[in-house]
Structure 1
Amino acid sequence: MYTLNLDIAQFLKEHWQQKPVVIKGAFPDFEDPISADELAGLACEEEITSRIVVTQKDNWEVIQGPFEDYDSYGETHWQLLVQAVNHWYPDSQPLVEAFRFLPDWRFDDLMVSFATPSGGVGPHVDNYDVFIIQGEGERRWTVGANTPQQRRGGNPNSPLVEDFEPIIDVVLEKGDVLYIPPGYPHCGETLTLALSYSIGYRAPSQQELASEVADYLLDNNLGQQRFTSATEPANPGVISQDHQLGIMSLLSQLAQDPTSYQVVLGKLLSQNRFELDICEGEEAYNAEDLQDAFEQGAGVNRIGGLKVLRLENDTQSRLFINGEIYELPNTPEAVLTQLSDLVSFDSDSAMALCEHAEVQALLLQLINQGLYYLSDDEA
């Protein structure tokens, strides 16, 4: 279990999405949830997103995984990064749980990196919030001010930025945490062999929202209302200000109608950017199988990274899971809250949930889809 040594209320008030901060000793007696060898093993898998960044003189080379071996990279100047480790390595979930004072819909993934001395990814700017937790070893981090940055070498497509004047310059040791909001340039340099953990939080862009709204309207044959006007401009070749505002108000009407935007948000925000480790069994369970398993002490868990969300003041009783809608019209809100807030249930809790026929059917469906699984030990 990981307990974050942090005044959460103060952090949310003074730093979250505002300014970076170093939290020394954030995790006293920190233990790495994964070893370097285990991380390297994950990076061998085709379905897992990984890359190696090689530090060269004033340049960085990126090699995409999977990787069969690492001998050719030597003992310095490279870093292995593996995305969505929480999807594939259950022992990393307790570290994620320490940050669930932030809503699940924002959570992107747990990225883990193994770095050799002088390894790093170069100075860059992220468009998401990130907590960097230092595991074994030491890394030096510099963070600059949230000001416009020049792309490396004047190349607008470069992921790197030019060197910056740091407002933070710190060496992270085991258990230290560095929080960086979007827009702040930062750069990590490895001092000794090191494991680091990056917990990222991402919000949708206007492009993503517009695309999701358009798909929803097309799929459901909605959004047929057209602009009407009471006055016309004197000049035939002009689009009047009244007409401009009136046309665009068609979009704002959608944004103010819960029956339109709640489905869009629920489906969009419950999706994952990275592949999930679906654990679908060879044979489907039935209700009797489920009851027998719980009576024998089995619990039920979500697979790593699965998002189970509900909307406050939803117009309907439902959950949004992995981009899909699950209607539960007869299920009490307290039970929906349990299903969305808890990632695992022991046998007694699972049996209590199954007293609701809809919930039993839902759990059975999710288990047979491979999104939940039965555990031998109680949660």
Structure 2
Amino acid sequence: LAHFEPEQEFVLEPGDMLYLPPGYAHDGIAEGECMTYSIGFRVPARAELARELLMRVAEEEGDDDVPVLYRDAGQEAVDQPAAIPEQLHEFARDALERALREPLALQRALGEYLTEPKPSVWFEPQDAGVMLEGVALDRRTRMMYDAQHVFINGDSYRAAGRDATLMRRLADQRWLGSRDLARASDDALELLSSWCDAGWAHAGVYPQETP
């Protein structure tokens, strides 16, 4: 900001917020007894996203009960022992292709990555067994979905039918009322209760529900 020359100035009153599109230089100054905050929205870089997704897909592929090991029983003695054999290149290529071949592996990895809380984020467990008359997500909770899954705080769940519609509504509006919960299955209610126990959501009555 050594050579920053403002073209416009805005004075914000209590409760005001100023949105600046990406690429706009700005310099916020607190006047009087107040504080100024600049909040940015971080987007993943392509290389970072590829690295994270490949790591997660590889971890899922590595959950096999019987690991498949590279074998070169027919390899003859060589004069250049430091050279990587072509068969190992093929084995590595096949391993990567197999990891990406599972239809939903990439979708799961992406959803889990996008909803993974930052290391500095923690949740406070709630009292277990609270009656659910309504549910609201904790402000720190990240919840998203795709056509086959629901993702919350780095976990993924297969979802379909009425329960999937319910969970997507929770992700979009961040709360569910009593009428929503009345249509939930026992499994969905149990899952919501576990999220409340973990502090990911909070049970209560929400007056936003309209007749």
Q: Measure how far apart 1:367 and its partner are.
A: 1.7
Residue in structure 1 matched with residue 61 of structure 2 by the alignment: 221
Give distance in 1, aligned partners of 2:106 and 2:20: 30
Residue in structure 2 matched with residue 183 of structure 1 by the alignment: 23
- Aligned residues: CA RMSD: 3.3
| Contact in 2 for aligned 1:347/1:378 (Cα 8 Å) | no
Q: How does 1:265-284 map to 2 (within 5 A)?
A: 265-273=110-118, 275-281=120-126, 284=128
Q: Measure how far apart 1:342 and its partner are.
A: 2.3
| Contact in 2 for aligned 1:330/1:358 (Cα 8 Å) | no
| Aligned counterpart in structure 2 of residue 345 of structure 1, from 151, 176, 198 | 176
Give distance in 1, aligned partners of 2:103 and 2:39: 31
1:375 aligns with 2:210: no
Q: TM-score, normalised by structure 1?
A: 0.40
| Aligned counterpart in structure 2 of residue 259 of structure 1, from 83, 90, 104 | 104
SS at match of 1:180: coil
Q: Which has the higher contact order (CA 8 A, sep 6+)?
A: 2
| Residues 194 and 206 of structure 1: CA distance in aligned 2, closer, same or farther (over 3 Å) | same
Give distance in 1, aligned partners of 2:35 and 2:103: 44
| Contact in 2 for aligned 1:353/1:359 (Cα 8 Å) | no
Q: Measure how far apart 1:338 and its partner are.
A: 1.3
Give distance in 1, aligned partners of 2:111 and 2:50: 14
Give distance in 2, aligned partners of 1:362 and 1:376: 18
Q: Measure how far apart 1:377 and its partner are.
A: 6.0
| Residues 188 and 347 of structure 1: CA distance in aligned 2, closer, same or farther (over 3 Å) | same
| Contact in 2 for aligned 1:267/1:322 (Cα 8 Å) | yes
| Residues 176 and 364 of structure 1: CA distance in aligned 2, closer, same or farther (over 3 Å) | closer
| Residues 347 and 335 of structure 1: CA distance in aligned 2, closer, same or farther (over 3 Å) | closer
| Residues 257 and 281 of structure 1: CA distance in aligned 2, closer, same or farther (over 3 Å) | closer
Q: Measure how far apart 1:195 and its partner are.
A: 4.1
**Structure with greater strand percent:** 1
Give distance in 1, aligned partners of 2:112 and 2:32: 43
* Percentage of pairs with the same residue: 28
- Give 5+ residue unaligned stretches, structure 2: 63-67, 69-92
1:69-111: CA deviation from partner (whole Å, max 9, x where unpaired):
xxxxxxxxxxxxxxxxxxxxxxxxxxxxxxxxxxxxxxxxxxx
Q: Measure how far apart 1:373 and its partner are.
A: 2.0
Give distance in 2, aligned partners of 1:372 and 1:265: 22
| Residues 168 and 175 of structure 1: CA distance in aligned 2, closer, same or farther (over 3 Å) | same
| Contact in 2 for aligned 1:366/1:372 (Cα 8 Å) | yes
Letter in 1 for 2:49: L
| Aligned counterpart in structure 1 of residue 156 of structure 2, from 320, 325, 329 | 325
Q: TM-score, normalised by structure 2?
A: 0.66
Give distance in 2, aligned partners of 1:212 and 1:348: 39
- Give 5+ residue unaligned stretches, structure 1: 1-122, 124-161, 225-246
Letter in 2 for 1:299: G
Residue in structure 2 matched with residue 168 of structure 1 by the alignment: 8
Residue in structure 1 matched with residue 135 of structure 2 by the alignment: 300
| Contact in 1 for aligned 2:150/2:168 (Cα 8 Å) | no
Q: Measure how far apart 1:309 and its partner are.
A: 0.5
Residue in structure 2 matched with residue 99 of structure 1 by the alignment: none
Residue in structure 2 matched with residue 201 of structure 1 by the alignment: 41
Residue in structure 2 matched with residue 309 of structure 1 by the alignment: 144
1:212 aligns with 2:52: yes
Q: Which runs of 4+ in 1 moved over 6 A?
A: none
1:238-291: CA deviation from partner (whole Å, max 9, x where unpaired):
xxxxxxxxx9xx89xx6x996343122211111233644523135x32xxxx5x
| Contact in 2 for aligned 1:299/1:377 (Cα 8 Å) | yes
SS at match of 2:104: helix
| Residues 376 and 310 of structure 1: CA distance in aligned 2, closer, same or farther (over 3 Å) | closer
**Structure with greater helix percent:** 2
Give distance in 2, aligned partners of 1:184 and 1:258: 41
Equivalences, count? 175
| Contact in 2 for aligned 1:299/1:378 (Cα 8 Å) | no
| Contact in 1 for aligned 2:145/2:171 (Cα 8 Å) | yes
Q: How does 1:1-379 map to 2 (within 5 A)?
A: 123=1, 162-196=2-36, 198-221=38-61, 259-273=104-118, 275-281=120-126, 284-285=128-129, 293-294=131-132, 298-311=133-146, 314=147, 316=148, 318-350=149-181, 352-354=182-184, 356-375=185-204, 378=207
